[in-house]
With several copies, the nearest count.
Chain A
Amino acid sequence: MAKPMHPTPRIDQLESGPWPSFITGLKRLANDDGKPYQEMVIDLLGQLETSYETRKGYWKGGTVGVIGYGGGVIPRFTELLDDNKKPKFPAAAEFHTLRIMPPAGMHYTTDLLRKMCDVWEKYGSGLIAFHGQSGDIMFQGAPSKNVQPAFDEFNEMGFDLGGAGPAVRTGMSCVGAARCEQSCANEQKIHRMLVNNFLDDMHRPALPYKFKFKVSGCPNDCMNAIERADMAVIGTWRDDMKVDQAEVKNYVASMGRKKIIDNVITRCPTNALSLNDDDTLTVDNRNCVRCMHCINVMTKALSPGDDKGVTVLMGGKRTLKIGDLMGTVVIPFKKLETDEDYESLVEVAQNAIDFFAENALEHERTGEMIERIGLVNFLEGIGLEVDPNMISEPRQSSYVRMDGWDEEAAKWFERKQQAA
Chain B
Amino acid sequence: MSAAPRMPIESGVPEPFQYMHPTMQKNFGQWKYHDRPRPGVLHHVAKSGDQIWTVRAGTQRQMDVYTIRKLCDIADKFGDGFVRFTIRSNIEFLLSDEAKVAPLIEALGKEGFPVGGTGNSVTMIAHTQGWLHCDIPGTDASGVVKALMDELHEEFIREDMPNRVHITTSCCQINCGGQGDIAINIQHTKPPKINHNLVANVCERPTVVARCPVAAIRPAMVNGKPSLEVDEKKCVCCGACFPPCPPMQINDPEHSKLAVWVGGNHSNARSKPSFQKLVAAGIPNNPPRWPEAAAVIKKILATYKKDAKDWERMNDWIERIGWARFFELTELPFTKFHIDNWRGARRSLNASAHIRF
Contact = CB atoms under 8 A, between A and B. Distances in A.
Residue from B67, B189, B276 having most chain A Cβ neighbours under 10 A: B67
A287 B322 contact: yes
Contact of B350 (A19, A113, A328): A328
Contact of A293 (B59, B81, B269): B269
Nearest to B147: A14
A394 interface: yes
B64 A289 contact: no
A52 B143 contact: yes
B309 A321 contact: no
B68 A393 contact: no
B13 A405 contact: no
Interface in A384-411: 386-403, 405-406, 408-409, 411
Contacts of B126: 133
Contact of A403 (B54, B136, B190): B190
Interface string B127-164: 01011111111111011001101100100000000000
B101 interface: no
Nearest to A223: B87
Q: Is the interface of B mostly helix, strand, loop or mixed?
A: loop
Given A76-B133, A220-B268, A398 B150 contact: no
A56 interface: yes
A7 interface: no
B58 A320 contact: no
A263 B310 contact: yes
A126 interface: yes
Interface string A103-136: 1111111111110110011000011111101010
Given A28-B64, A289-B355, A409 B174 contact: no
B67 A25 contact: yes
B324 A387 contact: yes
Contacts of B21: 107
B343 A323 contact: yes
Interface string B239-271: 010000010000101011101000110111111
A106 B56 CA distance: 14
Residue from A296, A320, A393 having most chain B Cβ neighbours under 10 A: A393
A60 interface: yes
Contacts of A238: 357
B240 A320 contact: yes
A355 interface: no
A73 B131 CA distance: 18
A228 interface: yes
A103 B288 contact: no
B336 interface: yes
A98 interface: no
Sorting the interface of chain A by its residue count into under 10, 10 to 19, 20 to 34 or 35 or more gives: 35 or more
Interface string A363-386: 100000001001110000000001
A388 B338 contact: yes
A340 interface: no
B150 A18 contact: yes
A413 B333 CA distance: 7
B267 A287 contact: no
B19 A103 contact: yes
B72 A110 contact: yes
A293 B319 CA distance: 16
B1 interface: no
Contacts of A130: 59, 61, 63, 68, 85, 89, 91
Contact of A199 (B12, B54, B266): B12
A74 interface: yes
Given A61-B135, A155-B11, A328 B72 contact: no
Interface in B1-45: 5-16, 18-21, 24-25, 28-29, 31-35, 44
B84 A105 contact: yes
Contacts of A293: 269-270, 311
Given A66-B8, A221-B268, A394-B279, A319 B173 contact: yes
Given A57-B131, A226-B266, A392-B349, 13 more contacts: A17-B153, A60-B246, A103-B15, A110-B81, A126-B64, A131-B85, A175-B84, A175-B86, A191-B13, A192-B12, A391-B350, A392-B348, A395-B338
For the complex of A and B, the 5 pairs showing the least CB-CB separation, nearest first, are: A17-B150, A326-B351, A405-B282, A25-B64, A397-B342
30 contacts: A11-B288, A13-B288, A14-B146, A18-B150, A22-B64, A25-B64, A67-B8, A76-B133, A104-B16, A105-B20, A106-B85, A107-B20, A113-B71, A130-B89, A160-B9, A160-B13, A177-B28, A180-B31, A186-B29, A287-B320, A313-B351, A318-B175, A318-B179, A324-B179, A326-B351, A386-B336, A387-B334, A389-B355, A397-B342, A398-B259
